[in-house]
Amino acid sequence: MGLKFERVAVIGAGVSGLAAARHLIDYGLDVTIYERSSNPGGVWAYDERKPLEYRYPSVLPSIAGLYPEADSDCEDVTSQSEFPQEEILKLKHAPPGPAYFGLTTNIPSKLQEMKDHPWKEGTGDFVNVKVVGEYLSDYAKRFHLERFLKYNTKVETISKVNGRWIVRSKLLTRTHDGNVEFLEHEEAFDKVVVASGHYHANRVPDIKGLKEWKRNHPERVMHSKSYRRPEELADQNVLLIGGSVSSTDIAREINGVAKTVYQSTRGGQFDLPLSFLPPSAKRVGECVSFEFETNNEGRGVAHLKDGTTLSDIDKVIVCTGYHISYPFLHSYHNDLISPAEANETVLVTDGTQVHNLHKDIFYIPDPTLAFVGTAYYVSTFSLFEFQAIALAAVFAGKAYLPREEEMREEYRLRVIEKGFGRAFHALNEGREPEYVRELVDWINSDAVSSGGRKVEGHSEEWLKEDEIKMVKLRQRFEKKKQEEKQEESPRIYNLTSEGKFRNSEFQLFNGSGNNRALEEQTVG
């Protein structure tokens, strides 16, 4: 007998949360979706407002997504004092996401299409953030998810008490006289789905002098999450910290607008090829310290590891990514140990991966707690929906989990194969279709005995298109060293497909800044 009358809490109404809710509801479960903002879509719900900045530095994942109690410890990109108290309360309750005005997808829309929800006729292969936001809003409407949504409701804590999950939340509302107030609420659930995404808890490294510069001149230092438009950096000397996706994309956006663009990197494994930068941008080595010049309107000086000094810096943008952080599951964090030291119950250590999940979904010690959207380097909408389908089948009693010791052994072998950190969740190099096949085969096999629904996996057309993309990406990155040695590297790399979606082009980067596209889409 299925468990279709059990209550399930879904945390987040982005891609992952909407997909999870849709398929859980299809199985007849009683679903409540918590969303702290006022719209569905998660990071794809564009918000022109800038978030308040978190702590500088921000190196502890368990508190990285939380604002300090004292306003003096929470600096705004410009100045927190410029905001009325009401706006500060709203920004802390539901911080705007990282999407910027020119953000465009770089995975063809057909590869991102969700089940039973085609893109509107005439939708291009690569679309602006607002088009994606509308697509997800329409998804919520098509499957009548709005009536299950609790907007403006932030989850404060989730804890297991007497066999049930207690979700404590805070609703932002208004009093009769129009003032902002918060109403606390508590509900009990049988199961919980965490679909809160990865792009809310800023990672800010502890670089000497950065905290002091930020404190004294907050307008001079910001995290990439606060970037919105290139015009805000017009005629400025800009230093980008980090060499991966957000840094490279901002460099392309502000090319020709900013006076000078520097990109500082440590030469890490996630740095993009130098050829992805616009020709005028300058890649430099690691920054080891900063100082600001009071007599120069707070402009700064950056000292590099190789002894080089960069002067007259108008703006530093910290593009060092985000911590995986679940502040509402604080007791499942341990900031004091490395990933290799993780025990069999911890979820997050250094903020680079989620521990102890079966197939990146089910919490092995207690599979009534599950996650959607942990994977990196995937066609996010499609992959996350397959995770949601598997999750719903299990929660409805139509697919069965292995015994705990079997899940533990599979997890152990995966750790041996992939190691720790962000790469643990990576499904690049052709792993995504293989992972989906595993989920689909599992669900369909159990459906024979459970009477559950069978699931259709990726179509042949989808697989062919995805393989073309992967081959071209692999070729591109294999040429990284050669490209970096070339005096003039190609600045445009379009991959024309041949399959069902033959009109699509895989636009990786356009150094002119005209086609603003992220190389990596992993938002949930």
* Residue ranges of domains in the chain: 7-45+99-200+323-461, 61-96+204-320
* The pLDDT of residue 81 is above 90: no
Domain 7-45+99-200+323-461 has CATH 3.40.50.12500: no
* The pLDDT of residue 409 is above 70: yes
What confidence score (pLDDT) does residue 471 get? 79
119 near 108, Cβ under 8 Å? Answer: no
What confidence score (pLDDT) does residue 63 get? 93
* The pLDDT of residue 519 is above 60: no
Confidence of residue 468 (pLDDT cuts 50, 70, 90): confident
C-alpha distances (whole Å) from 379 to each of 106, 126, 254, 289 are 10, 13, 27, 38
* The pLDDT of residue 211 is above 90: yes
What confidence score (pLDDT) does residue 503 get? 34
186 CB-contact burial (10 Å; exposed 0-12 / middle 13-18 / buried 19+)? exposed
Work out the percent of the chain whose per-residue pLDDT is above 90: 78
pTM comes to: 0.90
Enclosing H/E stretch for 182: strand 180-189
What confidence score (pLDDT) does residue 430 get? 83
- Indicate the range of 34-43, 82-91, 192-201, 281-290 predicted with least confidence: 82-91
3-state secondary structure of 214: helix
Q: Mind listing the pLDDT tens digit for each residue in 106-124? A: 888 989 999 999 999 999 9
3-state secondary structure of 361: coil
157 near 66, Cβ under 8 Å? Answer: no
CA 410 from centre of chain: 26
List the structure tokens of 485. 């040695």
Homologous superfamily (CATH) of 61-96+204-320 is FAD/NAD(P)-binding domain (3.50.50.60)
* The pLDDT of residue 493 is above 50: no
- Indicate the range of 12-16, 210-214, 467-471 predicted with least confidence: 467-471
What confidence score (pLDDT) does residue 171 get? 99
76 near 219, Cβ under 8 Å? Answer: no
**Average per-residue pLDDT for the chain:** 89
319 near 325, Cβ under 8 Å? Answer: no
Q: Can you count the helices (H) and strands (E) in the chain?
A: 11, 22
Q: What is the mean pLDDT of residues 193-197?
A: 98
* Separation CA 519–CA 495 (nearest Å): 13
What confidence score (pLDDT) does residue 497 get? 34
Q: What is the mean pLDDT of residues 451-480?
A: 84
Q: Mind listing the pLDDT tens digit for each residue in 424-433? A: 999 988 899 9
Confidence of residue 467 (pLDDT cuts 50, 70, 90): confident
What confidence score (pLDDT) does residue 483 get? 58
Q: What is the mean pLDDT of residues 200-223?
A: 96
* The pLDDT of residue 58 is above 70: yes
* The pLDDT of residue 59 is above 70: yes
DSSP readout, 437-482? HHHHHHHHHHHHHH---------HHHHHHHHHHHHHHHHHHHTHHH
3-state secondary structure of 260: strand
Q: Mind listing the pLDDT tens digit for each residue in 138-180? A: 999 999 999 999 999 999 999 999 999 999 999 999 999 989 9
Q: Mind listing the pLDDT tens digit for each residue in 296-346? A: 999 999 999 999 999 999 999 999 999 999 999 999 999 999 999 999 999
Whether 7-45+99-200+323-461 shares its CATH topology with 61-96+204-320 is answered yes
Q: Of 380, 382, 372, which is closest to residue 457 (Cα–Cα)? A: 382
Q: Mind listing the pLDDT tens digit for each residue in 497-517? A: 333 333 333 333 333 333 333
Q: Of 325, 387, 337, which is closest to residue 362 (Cα–Cα)? A: 387
Confidence of residue 495 (pLDDT cuts 50, 70, 90): very low
What confidence score (pLDDT) does residue 258 get? 98
What confidence score (pLDDT) does residue 273 get? 87
